[in-house]
Structure 1
């Protein structure tokens, strides 16, 4: 055997060793890809019930929102009616009621002023009588 053949055998052995060392990570990578494929398949199978549940929930929420929308519309109508009723009350009874209150206040004030004037006049009259004696 010549030196070239021995060198070729050593090179071939090193190449086989290199291939064996690279085969181990490739086998592990293949197993990892298989596990990832299985996990993706399971996730895909489990999404169907999840999506159906989400769809049912969204349908229920939409129904509740329609009810709330109706309640809001009714509350808005009630608010408009109360505002109109308040305006009618103010227009029909508010003016006369304010005038009546002002009149009664004025009459009360006039009566008090008259009573004070009489009290003061009575006091003056009593002083005059006392001064004459």
Structure 2
């Protein structure tokens, strides 16, 4: 055998060894891809019930939102009625009630002032006797 043939045999052996070493990761990669394909297929099969459940949930939510819209419309109408009633009450009874309250306050203040004046002018009762003793009058 010539040195060229020996070199060719060594190169062929190295190439076979390289192919064997690369075949192991390629086989593992193939298995990984097969498992990934199976997982994707299972996930796709399980998404149909999830989408059906999500669609049902959204339909229920939409129904509840329609009910809430009705409730808020009724609450808006009630608050408008209460506002109108308050305005009516203020217009009809508010003015006279304020005037009556102001009048009663003025009368009570005038009576208190008058009592103080009369008490200061005419000393009578226990309080006036004490002040009379202090001043020397009896």
Q: Shared fold by TM > 0.5?
A: yes
How far the C-alpha of 1:21 sits from its partner, in A, is: 1.1
How far the C-alpha of 1:120 sits from its partner, in A, is: 4.2
39-48 vs 59-68, which moves further:
59-68
| Alpha-carbon distance in structure 2 between the residues aligned to 1:22 and 1:65 | 61
Q: Who is 2:107 aligned against?
A: 107
How far the C-alpha of 1:110 sits from its partner, in A, is: 3.0
Q: TM-score, normalised by structure 2?
A: 0.80
Q: Is 1:96–2:99 an aligned residue pair?
A: no
SS in 2 for 1:123: coil
The higher relative CO (CA closer than 8 Å, separation ≥ 6) is in 2
| Alpha-carbon distance in structure 2 between the residues aligned to 1:100 and 1:34 | 93
Matched residues, number: 126
Is there any run of 5+ residues in structure 2 with no aligned partner, and where?
Answer: 125-131, 133-138
Q: TM-score, normalised by structure 1?
A: 0.83
Q: CA RMSD in A?
A: 2.1
How far the C-alpha of 1:27 sits from its partner, in A, is: 0.7
Is there any run of 5+ residues in structure 1 with no aligned partner, and where?
Answer: 128-133
